[in-house]
Amino acid sequence: MAEKKNENSEFENSKVFFDCLKKLHTKFGNQQLSMQTTIKLVRYSMEIVELTEVKGEEQKTLAIALTRKIVVDAPMKDNEKEAVLEMIDNGVIDETIELVVSATRGELTINQVQSCAKKSLPSLSKCFGCQ
C-alpha cells in the first residue's frame, strides 16, 4: 500500500481536524466511496476547510489529510483503496486542488481560448471554403 506522507500528520490530532472530519462525514453522508467519488470527497474537504481559520498552504494540507482519513477508514475493495491512496500520496490530489485554486483565482485561460476559437472559426471556415 502507498506510504503515508508525514506532512499531513500535523493536523491529524488537532481539534480543527476532528471538527472538519465530523462535518465531512455529515456532508459526504452514506455515499459509497470509490475511485469515481474521490474527487467529490476532495471537493467537500476543500469546502469545509475553507470555512476554518486555517489559511494558505495549510488549507490544502488539511484537505488532503481529511480526504486520506476518510479513504483509510472507508469500506472499499483493497485494490481500489490502494489506488486512491496512491493518488493522494503521489500528489494527484494535491495537483487537483491546485487546479481548482487556480481556476477560482481566474488564472486559467481555458474560457479565453474557447472564446477566441469561437470568434476565429467562422473566419477560418471561410478561408478554407468550409461553408
Return per-residue pLDDT of the chain as tens, 131 residues: 444 444 455 777 789 999 999 999 999 988 889 888 999 999 999 999 999 999 989 999 999 999 999 999 999 999 999 999 999 999 999 999 999 998 888 887 776 655 655 665 565 445 445 55
Q: Which domain holds residue 120?
A: 6-127
Phi, psi of 10 (to 5 degrees): -60, -25
Residue 16 lies in a domain: yes
Per-residue model confidence (pLDDT) at position 95 = 92
CA distances (Å), origin 97, targets 40, 71, 119? 12, 17, 31
pTM (2 decimals)? 0.76
The angle, 0 to 180 degrees and rounded to 10, between the axes of the packed helices 92-104 and 38-50 is: 50
Q: Tell me, what DSSP letter sits at residue 5?
A: P
Residues 6+ apart with CB under 8 A from 117: none
Contacts of 23 (CB under 8 A, 6+ apart): 48
What distance in Å separates the CA atoms of residue 13 and residue 32, rounded to the nearest whole number?
Answer: 26
Four-residue CA torsion sign, 24, 28, 32, 38: negative
Cα–Cα distance, 4 to 17 (Å, whole number):
17
Q: In the chain, how many domains are there?
A: 1
Let me know if residue 1 belongs to a domain. no
Distance in angstroms (rounded) separating the CA atoms of residues 45 and 39: 10
Separation CA 93–CA 53 (nearest Å):
22
